[in-house]
Amino acid sequence: MAAAEPKPPAGAAAAGRLARGCWSAFWDYETPKVIVVKNRRLGVVYRSVQLLILLYFVWYVFIVQKSYQDSETGPESSVITKVKGITFSERKVWDVEEYVKPPEGGSVFSIITRIEVTPSQTLGTCPESVRVSNASCDTDEDCVAEQLDMLGSGLRTGRCVPYYQGSAKTCEVWGWCPVEDGASVSQFLGKMAPNFTILIKNSIHYPKFQFSKGNIEHRKDGYLRRCTFDEVSDPYCPIFKLGFIVEQAGENFTELAHTGGVIGVIINWDCDLDLSASKCNPKYSFRRLDPKHVPASSGYNFRYLGLGTPGSSSALAVVALKEQGRCSKVQGSFPSWVMGGRPPPCSSGSCCPRFAKYYKVNGSATRTLIKAYGIRIDVIVHGQAGKFSLIPTIINLATALTSIGVGSFLCDWILLTFMNKNKVYSHKKFDKVCKPRRSSGSWPVTLALVLGQAPPPPCPCSADPGQSLAAPPPWPCPASAPSEQMADAPEQTVGPELCASEPSRQDSTLTDPRGLAQL
């Protein structure tokens, strides 16, 4: 007697059925079925969602964001600046050539408002600054000879000497003496600084649209000589007072002049090129860029070397020599005006000094060190230009029309989740259409069905498996899903199974007078 074949495990059989079902369902085609639900509350939700989506796209996307335009950000820009004004300190008069650094007139420049001058520094030995770490000492043993501190003022000699004032002692160094802390003198230049005028010439270019414009009005009547910036009356006169810039940035000028700081002048060019070029105007804003509430990083200062001190007898200077169009270095004595004031007017072949770094006093190399506090101005230009283009318009219109379908998705979820009484709505919404069973040689019948000349064949997946194919079931499998209207009605009695699903009857025999009606 042959042994019985072993049966596969129940889990493997179930997995096989699941895989076959998934494979079969993968090839199914789904199409929407139109059902009209007569429910006022659900209709209000549906139309409200559609209205909100429509308002979002019309107002925000198309009007505010102007998404129908092709845009370009970051224009090509050039900035030229020029400062004018004169001020004075306790000891001298200062003009533009002395308090503006660098003098080239770029987009970033500094206006000196306070200085600490250490005059007549010579190469020699002196006490180290008390602000340098490990500089304080009690005896010579505390100082290491020939030690070089990168944050110090020179090379240590190994001696412990008294400080410039007080009873403290520091290690002696060899370098430029006296050090900055020991002999610096402070001078304030900010008395007249609020009245300094700053001309900011700016021109921009958008290469995608071949559009260029500047921030100065083209006039030949000397307009720039007598105007200052006003947002309403003179928007194309980019001459700003330094006090106005600091005030617009929300800062106190006296405090800023003592500690220094960084002020940003932001020029924004937002241009709608669908309009005329006169509508593309620069917008100015001002704000402080350095964090003033963080003591470790607030303020602004730098160091540079000055001309020297009055009374110096001889010098080794870098002097620009205007002679036959060439410059050279000369060594000799400074004229008397170099130490005390401005030079006389230059003529062809005469010496016109530009700057001096080092000079000699009684044969010793000498320099003047200046620590400057000032207001640094950063001119920042940005903007965006836009012009109508068909491609972004079509893309955003398609997005808007697609997004309106969100209302249908939301209402379907509400209908099937919170309003689905005894699954009446789901029975009406979901139907399964089965493929008719065809025998061999039945292509004439199929052709007749396609042409609409023959009645539809019976559904092969009838609820009664023993039903004859010649007699159609009471509820045939529909070849298409007609449009239906549904009113919000109480519980309905669902008919027998149709094609392995449970849709309600779709013929006129089950019309519910209280709400369910076939279209």
3-state secondary structure 46-92: HHHHHHHHHHHHHHHHHHHCCCCEEEEECCEEEEEEEEECCEECCCC
What is Dmax (Cα atoms) for the chain?
Answer: 135
- Cβ 510 vs Cβ 61: under 8 Å: no
174-190 pLDDT, tens digit each? 998 988 876 778 888 88
Could you give the CA distance from residue 422 to residue 459 in angstroms, rounded to a whole number? 26
- The pLDDT, as a whole number, for residue 435 is 63
Alpha-carbon distance of 177 to 154, in angstroms, equals 9
What span, in angstroms and rounded, lies between the C-alpha atoms of 379 and 508? 79
Question: Which DSSP state fits 141?
Answer: G
How far apart are the C-alpha atoms of 264 and 280, rounded to whole Å?
A: 22
Calpha distance 503→461 (Å, rounded) = 14
Q: Which helix (H) or strand (E) element contains residue 98?
A: helix 96-99
Whole-number pLDDT of residue 2: 52
Q: What values do phi and psi take at 498, rounded to 5?
A: -125, 115
pTM (whole model) above 0.85: no
Greater model confidence, 274 or 461: 274
Which of 377, 425, 416 lies closest to 263 in space, CA to CA? 377
CB-CB contact of 313 with 361 (8 Å):
yes
Model confidence at 83: pLDDT above 90: yes
pLDDT(444) > 60? no
Helical H runs in 294-355? 336-340
65-69, 102-106, 314-318, 392-396: segment of lowest average pLDDT: 314-318
Query: What pLDDT is stored for residue 413 in this prediction?
Result: 86
Instruction: Give, in order, the Cα–Cα distances in Å from 15 to each of 18, 23, 28.
Output: 5, 12, 20
Residue the block writes with tokens 């920042």 = 380
User: 334 falls in which pLDDT band (50, 70, 90)?
Assistant: very low
pLDDT higher at 505 or 123: 123
Alpha-carbon dihedral 135, 137, 141, 146, rounded to 10 degrees = 20
Task: For residue 238, give the nearest of 259, 263, 265 by alpha carbon.
Answer: 265
- How does residue 438 score in pLDDT terms, banded at 50, 70 and 90? low
Average pLDDT of the segment spanning 423-433: 75
Lowest mean pLDDT among 37-41, 298-302, 334-338, 356-360: 334-338
Q: How far is CA 29 from CA 278, 428, 458, in A?
A: 58, 18, 21
Computed over every residue of the chain, the mean pLDDT equals: 75
Q: Give the Å distances, CA to CA, from 46 to 67, 325, 337.
A: 26, 83, 88
Q: Is pLDDT at 400 greater than 70 in this prediction?
A: yes
Rounded to whole angstroms, how far apart are CA atoms 507 and 516?
11
